[in-house]
């Protein structure tokens, strides 16, 4: 690799949780497996890795620095603090889009619990930090139930990414599985469809692809 110093990478992984009351929360089925697999591959490639993760049962690679968070706001604050110093940002975390506007200070009893919860948007981490993007290479993930390439391409452009990895949620791809099926898209028309493979294998392939894309970009800037 032609880089003069190790690539510094920030990776987000896992779900986030938004509290309804002290014992209940809004979340999703993300396990963090994809993000942790990418972190392991990045460490193996010699990258310096900061791993910002929501609640999971996974053990981070020994050589990376783990920043555990719970809510979307906590994840944003940590990514925001690390972004300027990184070379690569890979956002695999499944950040909850909405949070209760008024979390209840005490556990709501079943008989008296409100049936309607007023919500507000959670900060869009990727869209926000990418607004001050300099030379960082930004990779996002998109999990969709339909119109995969259309929605992924829209996110790619709206959030100023260099690459997006998209998958359809289903029996062979999505949350909780040890394997995945990915479609990789870039703003220059780049498109690769990766068949079903283990998340460990996909993590290695993604790190290799990002390395190649960064080397191509550097060679272009120096020509």
Closest C-alpha to 166, from 179, 151, 188: 151
If you search the block for the tokens 């906590």, which residue do you land on?
A: 74
Active-site hit among 28, 77, 160, 167? 28
Closest C-alpha to 37, from 53, 23, 21: 53
Active site residue 28: yes
**Rounded distance between C-alpha atoms, residue 128 and residue 215, angstroms:** 26
Q: Is 27 exposed, middle or buried (0-12, 13-18, 19+ CB in 10 A)?
A: middle
Closest C-alpha to 11, from 123, 97, 137, 194: 137
- Burial track 138-166 (b if 16+ CB lie within 10 A, e otherwise): bbbbbbbeeebbebbbebbeebbbbbbbb
Closest C-alpha to 90, from 10, 36, 159: 10
Residues designated catalytic: 28
């Amino acid at each position: 690799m032609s880089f003069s110093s190790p690539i510094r990478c920030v990776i987000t992984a896992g779900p986030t949780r938004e509290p309804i009351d002290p014992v209940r929360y809004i979340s999703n089925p993300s396990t963090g497996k994809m993000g942790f697999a990418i972190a392991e591959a990045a460490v193996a490639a010699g990258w310096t890795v900061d791993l910002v993760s929501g609640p999971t049962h996974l053990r981070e690679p020994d050589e990376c620095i783990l920043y555990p968070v719970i809510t979307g706001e906590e994840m944003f604050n940590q990514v925001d603090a690390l972004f300027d110093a990184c070379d690569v940002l890979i956002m695999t975390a499944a950040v909850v889009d909405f949070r209760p506007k008024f979390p209840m200070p005490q556990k709501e009893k079943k008989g008296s619990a409100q049936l309607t919860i007023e919500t507000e948007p959670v900060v869009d981490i990727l869209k926000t930090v990418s607004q001050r993007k300099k030379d960082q290479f930004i990779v996002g993930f998109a999990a969709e139930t339909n119109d995969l390439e259309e929605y992924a391409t829209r996110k790619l452009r709206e959030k100023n990414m260099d690459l997006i990895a998209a998958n359809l949620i289903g029996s062979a791809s999505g949350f909780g599985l040890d394997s995945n099926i990915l479609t990789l898209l870039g703003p220059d028309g780049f498109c690769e469809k990766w068949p079903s493979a283990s998340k460990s294998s996909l993590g290695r392939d993604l790190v290799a692809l990002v390395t190649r894309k960064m080397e191509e970009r550097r060679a272009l800037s120096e020509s």
